[in-house]
Amino acid sequence: MAKAKIAVLGGDGIGPEITEQALRVLKAVADLCGHSFEIVRGLIGGAAFDQYGEHLPADTLKLCRTSDAVLLGAVGGPVEQRNLPRWKNCEVNSLLRLRKEFQFAINLRPLRIYPGLTRLSPLKMENLVSGVDILIVRELIGDIYFGEKYRRQENGVTAAYDLARYDKSQIQKVADFAFKAAETRNKRVISVDKANVLETSKLWRESVEELISDYSNIKLEHMFIDNCAMQLVKNPAKFDVLLTSNLFGDILSDLAAGIAGSLGLMPSASLNYNGFGLYEPAGGSAPDLAGKGIANPIGQILSIALMLRYSFGLEKEACIIEQAVEDALNTGVLTPDLAGNQQEAVTTEEFADRIIGIISDKDYRDGTD
Ligand code: NAD
Ligand code: IPM
Ligand code: MN
């Protein structure tokens, strides 16, 4: 029996709605398998600003520090309101600071296109998308995100700078994680860069190339980011592990989720090298959906599965959740982003109800042992 404390930071927009539904799923699995999780909620983002006047209060940091894992919903407000004090620099002050504070250098964004969902892909050609199973391994605390940023006047015009920085050890650590992950999969790694132009990318490619000599069983290919974006759309099944720097990974992961049909499908795990992890969907606060009870909770529910796997070593429990999501989708239980206009859609809560129903079903349980 596992016992653990989980810090839950619902955040903004759809964040609280989808985290609460995902926690119901966690409880169902915990009850089934005899585990006990202590859930402690904290504030982050605009929600924290209202109470503390800051986006990442010391209380929240302390809660994370004293927990075994962190579950996060989303931060940030409507894009058109980003200059209001509540939202100004919200993502940088909260999420990016949290990533840096806990050194979450590795970000895993897995994407499967389930057999029953191929018709939902905007690519529409089932032969292109069936069997897509990609693991994006994104470096998360370097690159243009965290380098020096400034503005200055140059000959009467305002110029802005964002410095991108990588060092060899930073690159090789995340590459090593990607190679090890590939060993448990199809043993193919595509490393993405822009080494025809960027100095950081040249170092990225050299560093990855140097490390591959330790992995004779892995097939490594380098691909420029522009070509990679095109190949992902044209032939997603070609990809197994996709190793990327921070900014390229941000863009490619939304692109990959779009191939599956919705940003709401993609979970993520942000891990440090001491085994501590933060789990959140790849998508954002979706202000267009907030408060309506219709957001897709799958990315958040699958993030719980990743937490069980990577933070608590509960592989069977992670698989129970993943299988339940697959079964629900295969039987046509779809939130509006997946159902489109053609089919009847369920709410966020009804989707979670269905997952909990599947998990609690005795016949289903017997089949998974
Ligand atoms: P977004 O990811 O919130 O939304 C993009 C599109 O995807 C929208 O059409 C939205 O409806 C849809 N979508 C996202 N999640 C969904 C879900 N669970 N179910 C169904 N549809 C979903 O990105 P955006 O609109 O560019 O940004 C909105 C806010 O979110 C901004 O403040 C941004 O900074 C923030 N953001 C936060 C995170 C995070 O907290 N990790 C990630 C991305 C964006
Ligand atoms: C993500 C988000 C964040 C990022 C933002 C909100 C800082 O888009 O997790 O993908 O760019 O990493
Ligand atoms: Mn993103």
Rounded CA separation 79/73 (Å): 17
pLDDT digits (tens, 9 = 90+) for 202-239: 999 999 999 999 999 999 999 999 999 999 999 999 99
- 3-state helix, strand and coil shares in percent for the chain, rounded to the nearest 5: 50, 20, 35
Q: What is the pLDDT of residue 106?
A: 98
Cα of 362 vs centre of ligand 2, distance in Å, is: 39
- Say if residue 362's pLDDT is above 90: no
Nearest atom within ligand 2 for CA of residue 250: 10
The rounded percent of the chain whose pLDDT value lies above 70 is 98
- Say if residue 369's pLDDT is above 70: no
Q: Is the CB of 95 under 6 A from ligand 2?
A: yes
- Say if residue 323's pLDDT is above 90: yes
Q: Is the CB of 33 under 6 A from ligand 2?
A: no
pLDDT tier at 289, thresholds 50, 70, 90: very high
pLDDT digits (tens, 9 = 90+) for 93-135: 999 999 999 999 999 999 998 877 787 777 777 777 888 999 9
The rounded percent of the chain whose pLDDT value lies above 90 is 89
Tell me what the mean pLDDT of segment 187-196 comes to.
Answer: 98
- Say if residue 363's pLDDT is above 70: no
Cα of 254 vs centre of ligand 1, distance in Å, is: 10
**Domains present along the chain, CATH in parentheses:** 1-104+270-369 (3.40.718.10), 122-260 (3.40.718.10)
Cα of 250 vs centre of ligand 2, distance in Å, is: 6
The pair of structure tokens assigned to 328 is 């629900």
Tell me what the mean pLDDT of segment 240-249 comes to.
Answer: 98
Nearest atom within ligand 1 for CA of residue 298: 18
Alpha carbon nearest to ligand 1 atom 40, residue? 74
pLDDT tier at 200, thresholds 50, 70, 90: very high
- Say if residue 368's pLDDT is above 70: no
Neighbours of 211 (CB within 10 A): 19
Nearest atom within ligand 1 for CA of residue 300: 18
Q: Which of 73, 43, 65, 69 is nearest to 56 (CA)?
A: 43
Q: What is the pLDDT of residue 117?
A: 77
pLDDT digits (tens, 9 = 90+) for 291-318: 999 999 999 999 999 999 999 999 999 9
Q: What is the pLDDT of residue 208?
A: 98
Beta carbons of 259 and 132 less than 8 angstroms apart:
yes
pLDDT digits (tens, 9 = 90+) for 125-174: 777 788 899 999 999 999 999 999 999 999 999 999 999 999 999 999 99
Please list all protein residues whose beta carbon sits less than 5 angstroms from ligand 3, which is an ion: 250
Q: Is the CB of 296 under 6 A from ligand 1?
A: yes
Cα of 259 vs centre of ligand 3, distance in Å, is: 15
Q: What is the pLDDT of residue 127?
A: 73
Cα of 156 vs centre of ligand 2, distance in Å, is: 33
How does the average pLDDT of the chain come out, rounded? 94
Q: What is the pLDDT of residue 361?
A: 87
Tell me what the mean pLDDT of segment 24-38 comes to.
Answer: 96
Higher pLDDT, 101 or 330: 101
Q: What is the pLDDT of residue 118?
A: 81
Nearest atom within ligand 2 for CA of residue 280: 9
Q: What is the pLDDT of residue 131?
A: 84
For a ligand 1 pocket test, name from 20, 21, 75, 335 the mutation site with the most ligand atoms within 8 angstroms of its C-beta: 75
Output b/e per residue, 77-93; b: 16+ Cβ within 10 A.
beeeeeeeebbeebbeb
pTM exceeding the 0.85 threshold for the entire prediction? yes
Q: Is the CB of 221 under 6 A from ligand 1?
A: no
The residues that are catalytic are 145, 194, 226, 250, 254
Rounded CA separation 285/73 (Å): 8
Q: What is the pLDDT of residue 249?
A: 98
The pair of structure tokens assigned to 218 is 């892995």
Beta bridge partners of 110: 135
Q: Which ligand is nearest to the CA of 96?
A: 2
For a ligand 2 pocket test, name from 87, 94, 95, 109 the mutation site with the most ligand atoms within 8 angstroms of its C-beta: 95
pLDDT tier at 365, thresholds 50, 70, 90: low
